[in-house]
Amino acid sequence: MFLKSSVKSAAAVFRTWSVFSGSMSGKVTGAGAGRLYSNTHLSRPHGDTGTEKFINQSVRQYARAARKKEDFQSQLQDLSPSMLKHEYANVPLAHTVDDVVKKLLSLELASHSEKLRLKKEQLIAKVQKDENDHNSTEVKVAILTAQIRNFQEHLHKHPKDKANKRWMLMSIDRRNKILKVLRRTHYAAFERVCQELGITYTFPPEYYRRATRRWLAKKALCIKVFKEVQKQKAEQRSKMRQSLQAQKTEVTRTKSTDASGTAV
């Protein structure tokens, strides 16, 4: 086995050397030339007289062109840098300070969390019933909407972040449940919330189950068991009614006998 492998490796080296030696002499033809010119190319260095030639391997196209991501419309784009933070918006002295302090109090140097908090307050102000409303159904929908849009913006930049994707899906399910209840109880408020926040409510898909013979037999058995249980409950109720009726008649009979005895 060792002798056979060594002979094969020596033959391969000899074939390679024959191809390269033929290319150096300019007499490569046939399949050897095809392999040579498909994988390598001849180039002449600066100042070469033709006597010396060297072979450079061609660059393999492993790298793919990077795809440009579409621009995502952030919900924080409409917040101007000159706006004051939420805690300084109602302070009159904040408008009369110098430029350096105003930058610290405004959104120009604010963090992402502070901008997101101001956006939540803006969405809450659109749907809240009055100034003291901070826990109604409409306010909860506004807070969840701001969180969902923030998750969407983050996942557009980092699509492999599975934890934030999970939190986003949980927030969407929770908002759908709240909107479903609001639509069933107060439809006018539901329409106003969807219009103010720009939410498109879609109905959940209907559940279709393929009816197999096993499923049909199980369903028939469940219906039969349910009917038997209902029949037993009806019999028990009738027996209880009869016993209560017998007790009532016995009580009235004893009362009548006692009344007749006292009358005599």
The segment with the largest mean pLDDT, out of 54-63, 94-103, 208-217, 220-229, is 220-229
Q: How far is CA 138 from CA 126, 130, 142, 158, in A?
A: 9, 11, 6, 30
Beta strands in 136-185 (DSSP E): none
- Side-chain half-sphere exposure of 33, counting CA atoms within 13 A: 6
Q: DSSP letter at 30?
A: T
Show Cβ contacts of residue 86 under 8 Å, excluding neighbours closer than 6 positions: 114, 117, 118, 121
Say what the pTM is. Answer: 0.51
Q: Which residue has the higher pLDDT, 262 or 220?
A: 220
Give the Cα separation of 203 and 179 in Å (integer): 11
Domains of the chain, with CATH numbers?
Answer: 11-57 (no CATH), 112-197 (1.10.287.10)
Q: Which residue has the higher pLDDT, 27 or 4?
A: 4
Which residue bears the tokens 């300070």? Answer: 97
pLDDT digits (tens, 9 = 90+) for 177-187: 999 999 999 99
State the pLDDT at residue 142. Answer: 94
Beta strands in 30-130 (DSSP E): 40-43, 54-57
Which percentage of the chain shows pLDDT scores above 90?
38
Give the Cα separation of 12 and 6 in Å (integer): 10
Using alpha carbons only, give the angle 208, 212, 214 rounded to the nearest 5 degrees.
130
Show Cβ contacts of residue 29 under 8 Å, excluding neighbours closer than 6 positions: none
Give the Cα separation of 87 and 103 in Å (integer): 14
The segment with the largest mean pLDDT, out of 12-16, 18-22, 36-40, 106-110, is 106-110
Closest Cα partner for 89 from 63, 51, 67, 122? Answer: 122
State the pLDDT at residue 214. Answer: 93
Do 128 and 139 form a contact (C-beta atoms < 8 A)? yes
Average pLDDT for residues 79-94, to the nearest whole number? Answer: 74
Q: Is the pLDDT of residue 82 over 60?
A: yes
Q: Is the pLDDT of residue 85 over 80?
A: no
Q: Which residue has the higher pLDDT, 77 or 23?
A: 77
Mean pLDDT for all residues in the chain: 77
Q: Is the pLDDT of residue 23 over 50?
A: no
State the pLDDT at residue 145. Answer: 94
pLDDT digits (tens, 9 = 90+) for 125-163: 999 988 888 889 999 999 999 999 999 999 998 999 999
Average pLDDT for residues 237-258, to the nearest whole number? Answer: 88
Q: Which residue has the higher pLDDT, 215 or 209?
A: 215
Give 60's pLDDT tier (boundaries 50, 70, 90): low
Q: Is the pLDDT of residue 62 over 70?
A: no
